[in-house]
Amino acid sequence: MEGGQPGPGASSPQIDSAEVLLHGVFALLDPAPKTSYALSLTRGRELRMQRVGSSPAGRSAALKLADCIGCSAFAGREPELEPAAYFSVFCYPFRKGWWDAAPARQRFARTFRVCVAQEPGDNLKLAETWAGKIRELAAPRIPRQEGVTWGLLSRPYHVLVLLNPQSGTGQALQLFRSLVQPMLVEADVAFTLCVTERPNHARELVRAADLSRWDAVAVLAGDGLLYEVVNGLMERQDWQAAIKKPLCTLPGGSGNALAASINHYAGNTRASKEELLTNCTYFLCKGLHAPMDLVSLSTASGKRLYSFLSFGWGFISDVDIASEKYRQLGNARFTVGTIQQLAGLKVYKGRLSYLPVETSSSVSSAPGSPSEQNSHHVPCSNGHPLHILPQPAPGVPRPPHEGSWPEDSLLVPFDQPVPKHWTVVPEEEFISIFAIYQSHLGADFTMAPTAKLHDGSMHLFFLKAGVSRLGLLKLFLAMEKGTHLDLNCPHLHYVPVRAFRLEPFASTGLMTVDGEPLACEPVQGQVHDQLCRIISGS
């Protein structure tokens, strides 16, 4: 049958979506045995089921195969007695629950009995024809998007699933067995489950593993585990190829900002806990993957990290870390943590500079030595003199292996001032500085509603000192709906940036990278467009 589809939107007039590709009458095995259905598979990727029975207006339903994750055919248990074969269809369409306002994916499975011939072999062949055709029609269309290359895992594929058993009240393993595994089986996706035993276990594993065994690496836990995987991949000698291995986030109940964001990008309504896990597992069963920006962060002490979600210092980071304990109760929520931090509101002093997205597109990035650009620049002191070394200083360390990491072409070493075209924030007292590269900080936290997986920017928020506790609370509440920018709080600033540098004046508090704590010291970072790939919905 035909391969690739035409552009998004309307199908060409020649294709009749009602055209029937296969037709047959089979008995439904469950839930209602012995009922016969007339099935039609249409080019419009639907499975139409019309009940055959005494009543003239037989019940009919149309299953959209876009929602189908798998279909398999199998022979009967005793072919001598019973020549019938069978095929089972597994779909997860959006349906409204009993009392939920928002629709959620609900399992819809049907098994049909094929008994049109005497020979079991013939029945099986027919069942396999149906199953194969259904699978073919269920395959997702690869989206065509300007500047973005989507991919599709080619079947059959094998996924490495890394699971943190402590994640989210310790239910991750049970969630895998009861929710994720059945879907993977239905979708005929092979998997290897690896339960992590300690922090950094996943990082070490991914660093050393033979990745050719798997087509994708999934993480069932929180963002922290994916952070380990990303950094483990970048620490490999063959990082350039390794980082292109499609990754997948399956929310295990801890901080799952990326999962919430991906859910949002796919156009789904807010989902949390099991619904979110079902949605993400569904994406894994479909196999579509998209490029994702990564941010490389360097610290003055020589650390080099890769981040996919956020970097922060100040109030939001404090709440993030404080809420860690609350998240163990199974709630990825920040309210109690926020109120608690509010009681002891701290001011964080430092210098923040950034390269706005708008500026960077008009200024050509000079590939020559960055020190040339700054030879005329007087280092701003503010009582904090910067010592300039003539040679490129050890501000950007070499990676611990031969292959060199992607160059941070937008950054200059710490002992040089930031490039001329950067913006330096004049105020130096902050309540919170937070750069997020995805849309959500949690299932209930739309921090950057316009963010995308590959928008080439970090969404930098900084809250200057002087905002009252009341103002902070109002911002926090507005953030749940993503309306915080509409409040026009004079202390809150938002700007999309390509790179930034933060120089704290004192080591106050902890910084966070993807929700993980980092010792407080000067940090700078920049976006690396579409460096990795992540399983996603279209």
DSSP label at residue 392: P
**Residue 336 binding another protein, by CB under 8 A:** yes
**Residue 245 binding another protein, by CB under 8 A:** no
**Residue 440 binding another protein, by CB under 8 A:** no
**Residue 510 binding another protein, by CB under 8 A:** no
**Minimal distance, residue 336 CB to another protein, in Å:** 5
| 3-state helix vs strand vs coil in the chain, percent to 5 | 25, 30, 40
Contact range with another protein by CB under 8 A, out of 136-144, 176-184, 196-204, 322-330: 322-330
**Residue 328 binding another protein, by CB under 8 A:** yes
**Minimal distance, residue 335 CB to another protein, in Å:** 4
Task: Tell me the Ramachandran region of residue 409: left when phi exceeds 0, alpha when psi lies from -120 to 50, beta otherwise.
Answer: alpha
**Residue 70 binding another protein, by CB under 8 A:** no
CA–CA gap between residue 274 and residue 283 (Å, rounded): 14
Interface with another protein (CB under 8 A), residue from 29, 388, 424, 477: 477
| Residue 232 or 337 having the CB closest to another protein | 337
**Residue 325 binding another protein, by CB under 8 A:** yes
**Residue 480 binding another protein, by CB under 8 A:** yes
**Count of positions on this chain that bind another protein (CB under 8 A):** 25
Q: How far is CA 405 from CA 233, 296, 307, 453, in A?
A: 12, 10, 14, 21
Interface with another protein (CB under 8 A), residue from 61, 329, 363, 519: 329
Evaluate whether 376 touches 458 at the Cβ level (below 8 Å): no
Q: Which residues contact 150 (CB under 8 A, 6 or more apart)?
A: 142, 143, 144, 288, 289, 290, 538
CA–CA gap between residue 45 and residue 435 (Å, rounded): 42
**Residue 423 binding another protein, by CB under 8 A:** no
Query: Half-sphere exposure of 179 toward its Cβ, with a 13 Å CA cutoff?
Result: 24
**Residue 474 binding another protein, by CB under 8 A:** yes
**Residue 468 binding another protein, by CB under 8 A:** yes
Look at residues 67, 68, 86 and name the one whose alpha carbon lies nearest to residue 76.
86
CA–CA gap between residue 434 and residue 147 (Å, rounded): 27
Count of beta carbons in the 10 Å neighbourhood of residue 210: 6
Interface with another protein (CB under 8 A), residue from 36, 50, 129, 335: 335
The pair phi, psi for residue 132, each rounded to 5°, is -65, -45
| Residue 402 or 486 having the CB closest to another protein | 486
At 52 the three-state DSSP class reads strand
Look at residues 228, 219, 237 and name the one whose alpha carbon lies nearest to residue 198.
228
Site string for another protein, 366-385 (x = CB under 8 A): --------------------
**Residue 147 binding another protein, by CB under 8 A:** no
| Residue 56 or 344 having the CB closest to another protein | 344
**Residue 341 binding another protein, by CB under 8 A:** yes
Evaluate whether 505 touches 521 at the Cβ level (below 8 Å): no
| Residue 335 or 538 having the CB closest to another protein | 335
Count of beta carbons in the 10 Å neighbourhood of residue 371: 17
**Residue 43 binding another protein, by CB under 8 A:** no
**Residue 322 binding another protein, by CB under 8 A:** yes
**Residue 340 binding another protein, by CB under 8 A:** yes
Contact range with another protein by CB under 8 A, out of 26-34, 154-162, 219-227, 326-334: 326-334
**Minimal distance, residue 37 CB to another protein, in Å:** 43
| Angle at which helices 335-343 and 315-327 cross, to 10° | 130
At 308 the three-state DSSP class reads coil
For residue 265, give the H/E element and its range: helix 257-265
The distance from CA 50 to its chain's CA centroid, rounded to whole angstroms, is 39
**Residue 149 binding another protein, by CB under 8 A:** no
The pair phi, psi for residue 111, each rounded to 5°, is -115, 130
| Residue 186 or 318 having the CB closest to another protein | 318
Strand-pair partners of 41: 22, 47
**Residue 333 binding another protein, by CB under 8 A:** yes
**Minimal distance, residue 309 CB to another protein, in Å:** 22
Contact range with another protein by CB under 8 A, out of 34-42, 125-133, 204-212, 314-322: 314-322
C-alpha torsion sign, points 386, 391, 394, 399 = positive
**Residue 155 binding another protein, by CB under 8 A:** no
**Residue 343 binding another protein, by CB under 8 A:** yes
**Residue 326 binding another protein, by CB under 8 A:** yes
Any catalytic annotation for residue 408? no
At 273 the three-state DSSP class reads helix
**Residue 331 binding another protein, by CB under 8 A:** yes
Interface with another protein (CB under 8 A), residue from 337, 395, 515, 525: 337
**Minimal distance, residue 375 CB to another protein, in Å:** 46
- Is residue 129 exposed (0-12), middle (13-18) or buried (19+ Cβ within 10 Å)? middle
Look at residues 256, 248, 242, 259 and name the one whose alpha carbon lies nearest to residue 531.
242
Query: Which residue in 223, 293, 320, 514 is the catalytic one?
Result: 223
Structure tokens at 377: 């620049």
**Minimal distance, residue 345 CB to another protein, in Å:** 10
Contact range with another protein by CB under 8 A, out of 13-21, 244-252, 369-377, 468-476: 468-476
Instruction: Give the interface with another protein as residue ranges (CB under 8 A).
Output: 318, 321-322, 325-326, 328-329, 331, 333, 335-337, 339-344, 468-470, 473-474, 477, 480
Residue positions annotated with a catalytic role = 223
